[in-house]
Amino acid sequence: MRIENIPESYIANGNLNKNLFIYDLKMTETAIKTKVNLNMHMFSFLQVGKKQVHFLDTSVIVDNKQSILIPKGNCLWSELLDKENTYYCKLLFFSEQQLIDFLNKHVTKENSSKKIPSYFVIENDTYITAYLNSLTSISNSSMEFTENLLTVKFEELLLYLQSKYKNDFNNYLLSLVHKEKTSFKYNIEQNIYSSLSLEEIAFLCNMSLSTFKRHFIKEYNLSPGKWFREKRLLKAKTILEEGKLKASDIYLELGYSNLQNFSSAFKSRFGISPSSI
């Protein structure tokens, strides 16, 4: 699967020399788990359809009732069509420097003991609706006017969200420029029971699959395929022994694409079929 460099892929010549950039993304086909190398921080204002984003430690799905702020870096996203087989999302990209300029002007560093999430969800309201309408008007204006006014509109948006979400939003913005690097082992253990493939987990770790496997074996003294399979099958056995769920209820969330593959792996490991439990 190819890696999509965004927002560069949305520009005709692929070159981006802006601190702020608006793009209207319209689709008529569903895209599942696109590998995205996001080179700018991004607000995603979903208008029609649903969007799911996978990060190393979690995933999130939003519809047109919410917007989402996504940090630059590697992620996987799926764009799901609405009933009318359409998907429409207004994207606002901003550079690190643009963010730093805002923080220096409007944010005093907070001391927060809370874990900072991988994304920030915004509940849409009448202000957001009016704001998006104003962005549409700006994008239809002359280039020089657009660049100057967009800088003002970006500051306006962040000030509004700052007033709405207080320190939670400030701390999230600060985390974007002071992002702590988590350990390889932590990242792996956040995905023990995820539906992501090894290749997808490697991508989120910003590694090739071969490099990922070398790091994994060094850390765990076992190949990632065997390690993940063992962890997931032991978890499945525990769940089934509780008697509340069947194999058909759990195979997807434990990383198996179909019930038959799960049943075969389970029987090979424990000598009995999941249904016997």
Q: pLDDT tens, 14-42?
A: 556 689 989 999 999 989 899 999 999 99
**Which among 59, 185, 193 has a CA at the least distance from the CA of 119?**
59
Residues in the chain: 277
| Separation CA 169–CA 161 (nearest Å) | 7
Strand 3-6 versus strand 31-38 pairing type: parallel
More confident residue, 145 or 7: 7
The pTM for the full model equals: 0.84
Please state the φ and ψ torsions of residue 51, each to the nearest 5 degrees. -130, 130
Residues of the chain with CATH 2.60.120.280: 3-177
Q: What is the pLDDT of residue 176?
A: 93
Half-sphere exposure of 168 (CA within 13 A, CB side): 11
Q: Is the peptide bond before 7 cis (omega within 30 degrees of 0)?
A: yes
- The DSSP-derived string for 200-269 is HHHHHTT--HHHHHHHHHHHHSS-HHHHHHHHHHHHHHHHHHHTS--HHHHTTTTT-SSHHHHHHHHHHH
CA–CA distance, 85 with 48 (Å, rounded to integer): 9
Q: Where in the chain is the domain with CATH 1.10.10.60?
A: 184-276
Average pLDDT, the chain: 89
Give the whole-angstrom CA distance, residue 71 versus residue 244. 38
SS3 66: strand
With the CA atoms of 231, 234, 235 and 241 taken in that order, what torsion angle do they form, in degrees rounded to the nearest 10? 180
Report the C-alpha gap between 60 and 70 in whole angstroms.
11
The dotted CATH code for 184-276 is: 1.10.10.60
Distance CA 219, CA 216 (A): 5
As a whole number of angstroms, the distance between CA 8 and CA 199 comes to 23
Amino acid found at 173: L
Query: Coil, strand or helix: which one is 63?
Result: coil
Q: pLDDT at position 39, please?
A: 94
pLDDT at 183: 86
Question: For residue range 91-132, what is the model confidence (pLDDT) as tens digits?
Answer: 999 999 999 999 999 987 766 667 788 999 999 999 999 999
Reported confidence tier of residue 208, pLDDT bands at 50, 70, 90: very high
Beta-carbon contacts of residue 207 (< 8 Å; ≥ 6 apart):
215
Report the pLDDT value the prediction gives residue 144, as an integer from 0 to 100: 63
What is the model's pLDDT at position 140?
A: 60
Fold of 3-177: Jelly Rolls (2.60.120)
φ, ψ (nearest 5 deg) of residue 139: -65, -20
CA 17/CA 141 separation, integer angstroms: 19
Q: Which tens digit of pLDDT belongs to each residue from 145-198?
A: 677 888 999 999 999 999 999 999 999 999 998 877 778 998 898 888 888 889
Output b/e per residue, 145-161; b: 16+ Cβ within 10 A: ebeeebbebbeebbebb
